[in-house]
Structure 1
Amino acid sequence: VDHGRSMEFLAELKDKVEHCSIPEVVAGDFNLIRHDADKSSPNVDRMRMRMFNDCIADLALCEIARVGARFTWTNK
């Protein structure tokens, strides 16, 4: 993942969602986190996290709660 392009990605996502005229579901592995607890290490980019949360709020998206494992992958 190229986090240097996260802002560009979120702007494109926002543009697509705002121009959609029917109800939609936005799903995927964005490789972005919403909360500190979503990361298994203390290394958190709060600015990127805020940017992602702001995008979700601006688009009035609702997160569907995960069921099962806390993390989708691990280095161990």
Structure 2
Amino acid sequence: ADDGRFADFLAELKNKVERCTTPVVVAGDFNLIRWASDKNSPNVDRVRMRLFNDCIADLALREIARVGARFTWTNK
């Protein structure tokens, strides 16, 4: 993931979803977090988090709740 292009990614995502005329499912590992509690360290980029959440809200997307492990990966 290229951290320097996350704003471009969100703009492209928004553009593609807004152009859809049928219901759409957006899925993937975006390498972005929604909440500080989603991170296992205190190093949180709150601006990026807010922009991601704003994009989700603008598109009226809903997050499907995870079941099972708290994180999708671990170093241990």
SS of alignment partner, residue 11 of structure 2? helix
**Partner amino acid, structure 2, of 1:66:** R
What are the equivalent positions in structure 2 for 1:1-76 lying under 5 Å apart? 1-76=1-76
Percent identity, please.
78
- Number of equivalences: 76
Question: What per-residue deviation string (whole Å, max 9, x for no partner) do you get for residues 2-38 of structure 1?
Answer: 1110000000000000000000100000010000000
TM superposition outliers: structure 1 runs of 4+ over 3 Å = none
TM-score of the two chains, using structure 1 as the length reference: 0.96
Which has the higher relative contact order, 1 or 2, with Cα contacts under 8 A spaced 6 or more apart? 1
Q: How far apart, CA to CA, are the structure 2 residues paired with 1:43 and 1:56?
A: 22
Structure 1, unmatched stretches of 5+, are none
Question: What per-residue deviation string (whole Å, max 9, x for no partner) do you get for residues 22-70 of structure 1?
Answer: 0010000001000000001000000000000000000000000000100
Q: How far apart, CA to CA, are the structure 1 residues paired with 2:75 and 2:45?
A: 19
How large is the RMSD of aligned CA atoms in angstroms?
A: 0.7
Structure 2, unmatched stretches of 5+, are none
